[in-house]
């Protein structure tokens, strides 16, 4: 039985907890941690089998696997605590991971492991396979509803007014690494693409605010010596947070299933 701890008990964490509770696989929710403990305890009371709300150190001690669904700013602290204990971290914070170049070495030195869940990035198997050979170019165009981007750091910092736009507006163009710095909470898909493929500095990214959209959309074009392919996905946003797609939490659950399932589909 794998004991799962969840760091961050917001939109994603609560969905993951419910899936674990209803799973017939050998997974058990051990504990959660949260910045707002009172709010987390109120949400925990809605589960059929509530678990303790604890601090990060105790969460790691009680768990075999830590799911990171906390704000991006908390990623490093959670990751280091988990890896120092030689345990596994499952995260969707691709942007934060990409900005920690020593992550692989840190995990290796402590006997830990990081799993980046990428449910919102379809075709990841093909991208990874293409990277075994030579990838000539990778381009990703992200289009999101205005409400998904209006509070983004880059938008606020640069005084970009999205409230009155009536047609698509390109608000960023650059590399996936530059995008992760400009939009630390909005480009985890692009960061994962960069890490899986030709590298974050060679992965080109455009971000558009589109008032006609109701879903977060990504279009990816990969050209390599083994294949050329295009991928497109429309993610349905969660009701609680329009910047987070419903498939994100399900991606974490799928990664947890892979840890205990006798058959794994995909690389």
Range with the poorest average pLDDT among 34-43, 76-85, 108-117, 234-243? 234-243
Transcribe 165-210 into DSSP letters.
--S-EEEEEEEHHHHHHH-TTT-HHHHHHHHHTT-TTTEEEEEEE-
Q: Stretch 92-107: mean pLDDT, rounded?
A: 94
Q: Stretch 87-116: mean pLDDT, rounded?
A: 95
Tens of pLDDT, residue by residue over 186-205, are: 788 899 999 999 999 999 99
pLDDT at 21 over 80: yes
Q: Stretch 245-256: mean pLDDT, rounded?
A: 91
The CATH number for 95's domain is 3.40.50.720
Asked if residue 115 belongs to a domain, the reply is yes
Q: Is the same domain home to 33 and 99?
A: yes
185: nearest Cα among 149, 233, 142: 149
pLDDT at 137 over 80: yes
**Residue 43 labeled ligand binder:** no
Tens of pLDDT, residue by residue over 43-58, are: 999 999 999 999 999 9
CB 87 within 8 A of CB 80: no
pLDDT at 165 over 80: yes
Asked if residue 267 belongs to a domain, the reply is no
Asked if residue 138 belongs to a domain, the reply is yes
The CATH number for 146's domain is 3.30.360.10
Q: Stretch 69-80: mean pLDDT, rounded?
A: 95
Structure tokens at 179: 């995008």
Residues 89 and 104: their CA atoms lie apart, in Å, by: 12
Q: Is the same domain home to 160 and 205?
A: yes
Look at strands 203-209 and 135-144 and give their pairing.
parallel
* Edge-to-edge order in the sheet of strand 113-116: 27-33, 2-7, 65-68, 88-91, 113-116
More confident of the two residues 59 and 148: 59
Q: Is the same domain home to 19 and 99?
A: yes
Q: Stretch 205-215: mean pLDDT, rounded?
A: 95
Q: What is the pLDDT of residue 185?
A: 76
Q: Is the same domain home to 144 and 79?
A: no
Q: Is the same domain home to 128 and 103?
A: no
Q: Which domain holds residue 153?
A: 124-234
Structure tokens at 116: 């980046």
Q: Is the same domain home to 17 and 90?
A: yes
Asked if residue 72 belongs to a domain, the reply is yes
Catalytic residue among 19, 136, 218, 257: 218
State the DSSP code for 69. Answer: -
More confident of the two residues 265 and 21: 21
pLDDT at 119 over 80: no
CA 223 to each of CA 109, 126, 231, 249: distance values in angstroms, whole numbers, following the listed order: 35, 11, 12, 30
Q: What is the pLDDT of residue 218?
A: 92
Q: Is the same domain home to 226 and 136?
A: yes
Q: What is the pLDDT of residue 124?
A: 87
pLDDT at 237 over 90: no
Q: pTM for the full model?
A: 0.91
Asked if residue 239 belongs to a domain, the reply is no
Asked if residue 265 belongs to a domain, the reply is no
Active-site annotation holds for 257: no
User: φ, ψ for residue 46 (rounded to 5)?
Assistant: -85, -10
Asked if residue 240 belongs to a domain, the reply is no
Residues 16 and 12: their CA atoms lie apart, in Å, by: 6
Q: Is the same domain home to 97 and 113?
A: yes
Considering Cα of 148, then 249, then 79, then 115, what sign does the dihedral take? negative
Q: Stretch 133-145: mean pLDDT, rounded?
A: 95
| Percent of the chain with pLDDT strictly greater than 70 | 99
Number of structural domains (the chain) is 2
pLDDT at 24 over 80: yes
Q: Is the same domain home to 98 and 148?
A: no
Confidence of residue 236 (pLDDT cuts 50, 70, 90): confident
**Residue 120 labeled ligand binder:** yes
Q: Is the same domain home to 37 and 55?
A: yes
256: nearest Cα among 22, 20, 8: 20
Q: What is the pLDDT of residue 110?
A: 98
Residues 137 and 223: their CA atoms lie apart, in Å, by: 5
Q: What is the pLDDT of residue 31?
A: 98
Other Cβ atoms within 10 Å of 53 Cβ, number: 22
Q: What is the pLDDT of residue 85?
A: 98
Q: Stretch 103-112: mean pLDDT, rounded?
A: 98
Confidence of residue 266 (pLDDT cuts 50, 70, 90): confident
Q: Is the same domain home to 146 and 82?
A: no
Q: Is the same domain home to 137 and 226?
A: yes
Asked if residue 60 belongs to a domain, the reply is yes
């Amino acid at each position: 039985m794998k004991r799962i701890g969840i760091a961050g008990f917001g939109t994603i964490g609560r969905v993951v907890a419910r899936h674990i509770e209803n799973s017939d696989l050998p997974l058990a929710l051990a504990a959660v941690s949260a910045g707002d403990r009172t709010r987390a305890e109120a949400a925990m009371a809605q589960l059929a089998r509530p678990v303790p709300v604890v601090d990060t150190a105790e969460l790691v001690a009680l768990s075999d696997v830590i799911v990171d669904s906390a704000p991006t700013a908390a990623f490093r602290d959670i990751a280091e605590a988990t890896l120092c204990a030689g345990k596994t971290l499952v995260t969707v914070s691709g942007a934060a991971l990409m900005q920690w170049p020593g992550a692989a070495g840190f995990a290796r030195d402590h006997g830990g492991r990081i799993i980046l869940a990428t449910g919102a990035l379809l075709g990841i198997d093909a991208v990874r396979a293409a990277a075994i050979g030579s990838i000539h170019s990778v381009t990703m165009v992200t289009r999101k509803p205005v409400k998904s981007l209006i509070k983004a750091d880059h938008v606020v910092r640069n005084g970009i007014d999205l409230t009155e736009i009536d047609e698509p507006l390109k608000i960023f163009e650059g590399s996936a690494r530059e995008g992760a710095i400009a939009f630390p909470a909005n480009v985890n898909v692009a960061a994962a693409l960069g890490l899986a493929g030709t590298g974050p500095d060679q992965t080109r990214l455009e971000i558009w605010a589109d008032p006609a959209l109701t879903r977060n959309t990504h279009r990816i074009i990969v050209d390599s010596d083994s294949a050329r392919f295009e991928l497109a996905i429309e993610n349905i946003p969660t009701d609680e947070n329009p910047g987070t797609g419903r498939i994100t939490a399900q991606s974490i659950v799928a990664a947890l299933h892979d840890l205990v399932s006798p058959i794994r589909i995909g690389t």
